Amino acid sequence: MKFGGSSLASASRIKNAARIVQRFSKGNKIVVVASALDDVTDKLLELGETAQRGGSPKAKSLLSKLQYLHSKIGRDVSARGTDKQLVTRISGLNLELERTVEGISHLRELTPRSRDYLLSFGERLSTLTVATALRNSGLKARAFTGAEAGITTDENYGEAKPLTEVSYHQIHQFLEPSLSRKEIPVVTGFIAATVEGSITTLGRGGSDYTASLLGVALEADEIWIWTDVDGLMTADPRIVKDARVLSNVSFGEALELSYFGAKMMHPRALQPAVQKRIPVRIKNSSKPSKEGTLVSVNEGDSSGRVVRAISIIPSVGIVTVSGTGMMGAPGVAAKVFQTLGSNNINVMMISQGSSEAIISCVVSRKDVEKSVRALQLALLGQGYVEKVAAERDACIIAVVGGGMKGTPGVAARIFGAVAQRKINVRMVAQGSSEYNVSFIVPEARGPDAVRAIHQEFNLERPPGKS
């Protein structure tokens, strides 16, 4: 069971999470994965960036707010405020956090590696608190960091990749003894470590990924993701007011949705679970009796629905490589992707005009400048590429549904609905799985495009009634 930050945003939310674990622990062995409390990861990032500019009063104030938050919630979760061990351990981590921030301000340097170390405090602090809450509700619980639970990654700080085989082996070895003593391991989501033991993170939203890795390693019956909405929905309910919960989603659809869902789930989170066909349930921690969404091998409840859900990925940009000399020149595309890949830039979408004179790649907005520089260095002046250009104002809209495969006219309806709202589509790609059509619009028009498509396909109505 993984609890997201929103499900751990206060002492009472944490106690609620403990009650949920207790309720389902009868007859089940459970491993808990905890995210950082609330939006603590965002706050730690801000703290790191502020500290990097020197030890300012702002950095001090951000730091003491975080320290206060964890101490306060720790005290409130403790039984009658007397859980000395928790209070002491939180103070210890608070002090270590302070030293880390001092180091960053002193050197005025925040490297990917030190950033991961800084971010790890969120989950390390939350896990201790959640384990205490579980003990106070009568369960045996023990806190583990990702590394203590056996998750080992490569050294790609910020977006580290688990070395799965060794991790699976170690997870089994490190957590089974606890489980057989009827203890509930409480593992930090999001963070792990390299072979040498330095802390890494799995990318934003990475606690879902942690849960999936642990579930596979321990051959869990199911992986449950507790969050603040009733399940996976037809669209982000903050964008579409009448978005509906999808009760059954197939693995294929969920992969597309999570990849393009950005905010809802870590893009690679489901991969391990899908490979081993372990069902994933997404449930609301405020309404634990509700069924939520079941992601499984089953086809889903589309009842002929072609489009199931629409996601939006904000904050991306388009990098375009063009030149008349590119026509018919073999290997240009390979060079483009190789250049981006070797600079650790993730390409989220690609399109190439059939004239071959232009190749466009969608990358995260933070990578736009780096991509342009890398491509200019690698490609200009060799006779075929004349220009590398960038467009920073973009978001991806992904329309997903298993029923889209082989159904003609879906794209026409999608783009018709968007055109009616006078939204300019900059670039289009259809996944070869045919489970998704994705396209790019200016960021400010993204939510409107989502609403237009939601309405066009009547997604607010239950299946069978469209």
Among 205, 401, 402, 403, binds ligand ASP (CB under 6 A): 205
Of the candidates 6, 22, 91, 156, which one interacts with ligand ADP according to CB under 6 A? 6
What part of residues 117-176 is at the interface with ligand ASP (CB under 6 A)? 122
Handedness of CA 230, 231, 233, 238 (dihedral sign): positive
CB 122 within 8 A of CB 40: yes
**Which 20-59 positions form the footprint of ligand ASP (CB under 6 A)?**
35-36, 41
- Of 366, 359, 242, 353, give the one whose Cα is nearest residue 313: 366
To Mg ion, the closest distance from the beta carbon of 209 in angstroms equals 10
> Residue 204 touches which of ligand ADP, ligand ASP, Mg ion, none (CB < 5 to 8 A by kind)?
ligand ASP
The residue (of 399 and 440) whose beta carbon lies closer to ligand ADP is 399
* Proportion of the chain in helix, strand, coil states, percent, rounded to 5: 45, 20, 35
Residue 5 CB, shortest distance to ligand ASP, in Å, is 5
Nearer to ligand ADP (CB atom), residue 102 or residue 222? 222
Interface pick for ligand ADP out of 185, 203, 261, 292 (rule CB under 6 A): 261
- Spatial contact of 251 and 295, defined as CB atoms under 8 Å apart: yes
Tokens 């057989």 belong to which residue? 180
Does 112 bind ligand ADP (CB under 6 A)? Our answer is no
Q: C-alpha 420: how far from its chain's center?
A: 32
Residues 193-212 binding ligand ADP (CB under 6 A) are: 205
Let me know: does 241 contact 299? Beta carbons within 8 Å.
no
Provide the β-strand partners of residue 349.
362
Pair type for strands 347-352 and 280-284 = unpaired
Binding mask 411-440 for Mg ion (x = CB under 5 A): ------------------------------
For residue 354, give the amino acid letter.
S
- The C-alpha angle 224, 243, 440, rounded to 5 degrees, equals 95
Interacting residues of 289 by C-beta distance below 8 A, sequence separation 6+? none
Tell me: does residue 233 bind ligand ADP (CB under 6 A). Answer: yes
Instruction: Name which position in 204, 276, 370, 413 contacts ligand ASP (CB under 6 A).
Output: 204
The entry of ligand ASP, Mg ion, ligand ADP, none near residue 36 (CB within 5 to 8 angstroms by kind) is: ligand ASP
For ligand ASP, give the closer residue by CB, 229 or 441: 229
Residue 269: both structure tokens together: 């989170």
Q: Which one among 1, 4, 34, 270 touches ligand ADP, defined by CB under 6 A?
A: 4
Angle between the 57-77 and 84-107 helix axes, to the nearest 10 degrees? 170
Choices 26-34, 236-244, 315-323, 429-437 (CB under 6 A): range interacting with ligand ADP: 236-244
Residues 178-207 that bind Mg ion (CB under 5 A): 205
Minimal distance, residue 279 CB to ligand ASP, in Å: 20
Sign of the torsion angle spanned by Cα atoms 341, 344, 350, 354:
negative
Query: Closest approach of Cβ 263 to ligand ADP, in Å?
Result: 5
Find the largest Cα–Cα distance for the chain. 74
Of residues 100, 114, 207, 250, which one binds ligand ASP by CB under 6 A?
A: 207
Distances in whole angstroms, Cα of residue 207 to Cα of each of 45, 55, 124, 185, 424: 17, 31, 12, 15, 36
Give the 3-state secondary structure of residue 436. strand
The residues of the shown chain that bind Mg ion, judged by CB under 5 A, are 4, 205
The residues of the shown chain that bind ligand ADP, judged by CB under 6 A, are 4-7, 35, 205, 227-229, 232-233, 235-238, 261, 263-264, 309
